[in-house]
């Protein structure tokens, strides 16, 4: 049964996509892993994974459910970003946000950069 599924190409192929942007005088890197029905997005300036949030839509609430799986529970940025991206894409979204939270302006710029990339390259999300 599964073999037939494979032959028809029914299974999703994971793809990886990288891009970067210069925001608030620093180079911010983005890494996207596209999965079946969702994606993982990493944002940062150095290759560390300090937190991970997951978010997905629920029929019980207009706002997607979000949860921090890893990292400092007091950090709301990864959750907030995951939630907004889940709402926008209707997909299961994993977010690792590795930037200082003090700069809320940067967070907005990061989000708008992600949205631009989503519009220009929807095939990667």
Q: Is the CB of 40 or the CB of 110 nearer to another protein?
A: 40
Question: What is the rounded (10 degree) CA torsion for 80, 52, 33, 22?
Answer: 60
Given 20, 24, 58, 120, the residue binding another protein (CB under 8 A): 20
72 binds another protein (CB under 8 A): no
Q: At what angle do helices 77-89 and 104-120 cross, to 10 degrees?
A: 30
Q: Is the CB of 29 or the CB of 104 nearer to another protein?
A: 29
CB of 84 to another protein, least distance (A): 19
What lies within 8 Å, CB to CB, of 82 at 6+ separation is: 53, 54, 55, 64, 66, 93, 94, 95
- With tokens 């944002």, the residue in question is 43
Given 8, 23, 24, 35, the residue binding another protein (CB under 8 A): 35
Question: Are 81 and 111 a contacting pair, CB within 8 Å?
Answer: yes
Question: Are 61 and 79 a contacting pair, CB within 8 Å?
Answer: no
The window from 17-25, 77-85, 99-107, 117-125 that contacts another protein (CB under 8 A) reads 17-25
The residue ranges that bind another protein (CB under 8 A) are 2-3, 5-6, 11-14, 16, 18, 20, 22, 27, 29, 31, 33, 35-38, 40, 42, 44, 46-50, 52, 54, 69-70, 92, 94
């Amino acid at each position: 049964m599964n073999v037939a599924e494979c032959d028809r190409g029914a299974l999703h192929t994971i793809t990886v996509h990288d891009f970067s942007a210069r925001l608030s005088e620093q180079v911010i890197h983005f890494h996207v892993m596209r999965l079946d029905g969702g994606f993982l997005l990493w944002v940062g300036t150095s290759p560390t994974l300090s937190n991970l949030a997951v978010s997905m839509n629920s029929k019980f609430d207009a706002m997607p459910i979000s949860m921090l799986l890893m990292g400092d529970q007091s950090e709301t940025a990864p959750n907030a970003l995951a939630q907004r991206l889940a709402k926008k894409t209707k997909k299961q979204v994993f977010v690792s946000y590795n930037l200082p939270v003090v700069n809320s302006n940067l967070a907005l710029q990061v989000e708008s950069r992600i949205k631009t990339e989503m519009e220009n390259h929807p095939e990667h999300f």
